[in-house]
A and B are shown apart, each in its own frame.
Chain A
């Protein structure tokens, strides 16, 4: 039998009530086999010699005592984790975005990033929503799922979506007088290619389901008589 498979050990002294064991001290002495250990060791309990304690270097009293007692902050062992993902949101779920520029748009969920935000895409050709991050709280998860196995989303993380930091230009007097050029930051070709590659496989699986393409292209809105708390999404 493999040494790892052991039956969980039942406690030797079960509780009758909390704080009161079934067996007395003398009975437990016998049960634990302390008499056998003593007999093996010639009548006395085996003792280890104490390890020689190295003489600690004599500590000098500190030169400086702070005037006020400074409180030490309490220890905090919490770990930063991405937000808990709702059970209804799995890769390939169709989500309805509720706020922002794309409110009402139905969009495909790709994966959750380490910051907790959801990576989402329109696909761009269908409804104009690019690869984008969206917060879980601003989203309704529908029960419609799309097959997402052909899509590779490994390379996308929060840094990909972060704002680009521009190198600080030394401001000379001349530049103050020039009209500030509003440079519209052009979308780098690399991002456009990423969008196309992600969407290519997605659009194929979307077209496999009838009406799904027009569904994703349409916006969601509440009509008369629709009660959100009674709707099944």
Chain B
């Protein structure tokens, strides 16, 4: 039951509400019990309530409130982008985004692919059943 993900300078969090929904941001300072100063390479540094953030496992090495250049360098050094995109959480979000952006034609092609895959699986299963029978 102990906490594993702490709010600390350098913690990478996902914004779950508001204008920057879905962005990965870094906590660069804690303002008070409810708010943090938050920064990302493509946004202006600003305050956010913790309720708008979901902490991730990723943490980078920065000093309190670095400037943009240092922040970007630290993000590169910590390899945050790759860590995020390879994590199961990150992969799920990418799949969700892809599914939401599918064309009607794309959905049709996926349906054909699913049917084909199911057919192949069923064949293999039948083969295995025959062997054990």
Which residues in A have some Cβ–Cβ distance to B below 8 Å?
Answer: 94, 96, 106, 142-144, 211-212, 214-215, 218, 220, 230-233
Closest 6 CB pairs of A and B: A144-B105, A142-B104, A215-B108, A233-B104, A211-B109, A143-B103
B102 an interface residue at 8 Å Cβ cutoff? yes
Residues of A contacting B: mostly? mixed
Is B108 a contact partner of A218 (Cβ separation < 8 A)?
yes
Which residues in B have some Cβ–Cβ distance to A below 8 Å?
Answer: 100-105, 108-109, 112
Neighbouring A residues of B112 by C-beta, 8 Å: 211, 214
CA distance in complex: A87, B102 (Å): 20
Output the least CB separation between A226 and chain B (Å): 9
Q: Which of A142, A230, A231 contacts B105 (CB 8 A)?
A: A142
Neighbouring A residues of B109 by C-beta, 8 Å: 211, 215
Output the least CB separation between B73 and chain A (Å): 37
Is A230 a contact partner of B103 (Cβ separation < 8 A)?
no
Is B108 a contact partner of A211 (Cβ separation < 8 A)?
yes
Neighbouring A residues of B103 by C-beta, 8 Å: 142-144, 232-233
Output the least CB separation between B98 and chain A (Å): 11
Given known contacts A211-B109, A211-B112, A214-B112, is B100 in contact with A144 (CB within 8 Å)?
A: no
Neighbouring B residues of A214 by C-beta, 8 Å: 108, 112
CA distance in complex: A233, B108 (Å): 11
Output the least CB separation between B76 and chain A (Å): 33
Chain A residue at minimal CB-CB distance from B103? A143
Is B105 a contact partner of A212 (Cβ separation < 8 A)?
yes
Neighbouring B residues of A218 by C-beta, 8 Å: 108
Is B108 a contact partner of A96 (Cβ separation < 8 A)?
no
Given known contacts A142-B105, A144-B105, what 13 new A-B pairs fall within 8 Å (CB)? Answer: A106-B104, A142-B103, A143-B103, A144-B103, A211-B105, A211-B112, A214-B108, A230-B100, A232-B101, A232-B103, A232-B104, A233-B103, A233-B104
Neighbouring B residues of A96 by C-beta, 8 Å: 104
Neighbouring A residues of B108 by C-beta, 8 Å: 211, 214-215, 218
Neighbouring A residues of B105 by C-beta, 8 Å: 94, 142, 144, 211-212, 215
Neighbouring A residues of B101 by C-beta, 8 Å: 232
CA distance in complex: A53, B100 (Å): 77
Neighbouring B residues of A211 by C-beta, 8 Å: 105, 108-109, 112
